[in-house]
């Protein structure tokens, strides 16, 4: 029996967020809340477990905005700064829960975390530093509090990145190529989340046309676009261009499946 899953988009923007500092374009100057995008992150709630995928530089505010007081695990897709820069802000969860936070990451992401947060991994820690329990993952499925999570290997230009599958939810960000083996794991899922950076082609991200072609091929019941830049256009304008089962995700959007 499938678990009931609630997905909350904590952030749906690209590495600079939207609006971009100093930009005068129509999207960045928009007053529509749908055009205000923090860096990409997601909260997945399953059976009273709170899993967060990626803690970028907006992590602290995302937790405050969502009212999250319990974090069961932090799961990383890859090591780029806009996905790991907020890990230091797990400290309040250490204090609230009086325990370490479980972190799931590949060996390559582990190297980046040790470079960015050396004080977390020292034998003799300064009082008050983040306390984590690091679990190394690979392409094999793993369990978090009895919930199976299946990595979805994709490529972000030449960088291997993981998406994740939890029951009928497939979540992928920062990709521009999905291998055939991974596609087979995604086909006909209930909800697919996929990045669509802009309309022009990009070296390391799907553009809108590529994302829509991929969605058509994979045939999910519903699909949501994320990791969106100001170059894609205003939220409500983009929505008008999408098929009936495809939606432009926005910050704080909740999806239940």
Class of domain 5-256: alpha beta
Q: Residue 46 has which token pair?
A: 């399953």
Q: Residue 181 has which token pair?
A: 């083996």
Positive or negative: CA dihedral 52, 55, 224, 158 = negative
Task: Tell me: pLDDT of 236 over 60.
Answer: yes
Mean pLDDT, the chain, integer = 97
Angle made by CA atoms 6, 12, 13, in degrees to the nearest 5: 165
* DSSP for 183-199, written as a single string: HHHHTT-SEEEEE---S
- Residue ranges of domains in the chain: 5-256
Strands 49-53 and 159-166: unpaired
Look at the pTM and tell me if it is higher than 0.95: yes
Confidence band (pLDDT; 50, 70, 90) for 125? Answer: confident
Task: Tell me: pLDDT of 1 over 60.
Answer: no
In whole angstroms, give the CA distance from residue 159 to residue 175: 9
Tens of pLDDT, residue by residue over 27-83, are 999 999 999 999 999 999 999 999 999 999 999 999 999 999 999 999 999 999 999
Tens of pLDDT, residue by residue over 126-182, are 999 999 999 999 999 999 999 999 999 999 999 999 999 999 999 999 999 999 999
Which pLDDT belongs to residue 81? Answer: 97
Q: What is the CA radius of gyration of the chain?
A: 18
In whole angstroms, give the CA distance from residue 9 to residue 42: 5
Q: Residue 239 has which token pair?
A: 């929505």
Strands 41-46 and 49-53: antiparallel
Confidence band (pLDDT; 50, 70, 90) for 228? Answer: very high
Q: Residue 180 has which token pair?
A: 């055939």
Q: Are residues 131 and 97 in contact, defined by beta-carbon separation less than 8 angstroms?
A: no
């Amino acid at each position: 029996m499938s678990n009931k899953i609630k997905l909350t988009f904590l952030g749906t923007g690209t590495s600079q967020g939207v609006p971009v500092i100093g930009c005068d374009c129509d999207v960045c100057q928009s007053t529509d809340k749908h055009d205000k995008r923090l860096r990409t992150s997601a909260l997945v709630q399953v059976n009273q477990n709170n899993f967060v995928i990626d803690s970028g530089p907006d992590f602290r505010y995302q937790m405050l905005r969502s009212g999250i007081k319990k974090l069961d695990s932090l799961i990383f897709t890859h090591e780029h700064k806009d996905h790991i820069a907020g890990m230091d802000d797990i400290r309040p969860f250490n204090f609230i829960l009086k325990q370490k936070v479980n972190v799931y990451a590949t060996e390559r992401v582990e190297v980046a975390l040790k470079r960015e947060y050396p004080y977390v991994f020292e034998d003799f820690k300064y009082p008050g530093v983040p306390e984590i329990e690091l679990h190394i993952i690979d392409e094999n499925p793993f369990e978090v509090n009895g919930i199976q999570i299946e990595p979805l290997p994709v490529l972000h230009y030449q960088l291997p990145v993981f998406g994740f599958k939890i029951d009928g939810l497939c979540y992928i960000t920062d990709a521009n190529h999905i291998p055939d083996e991974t596609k087979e794991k995604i086909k006909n899922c209930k909800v697919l989340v996929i990045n669509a950076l802009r309309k022009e082609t990009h070296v390391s991200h799907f553009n809108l046309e590529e994302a829509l072609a991929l969605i058509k091929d994979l045939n999910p019941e519903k699909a949501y676009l994320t990791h969106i830049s100001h170059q894609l256009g205003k939220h409500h304008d983009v929505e008008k261009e999408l098929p009936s089962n495809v939606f432009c995700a926005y910050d704080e959007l909740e999806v239940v499946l």
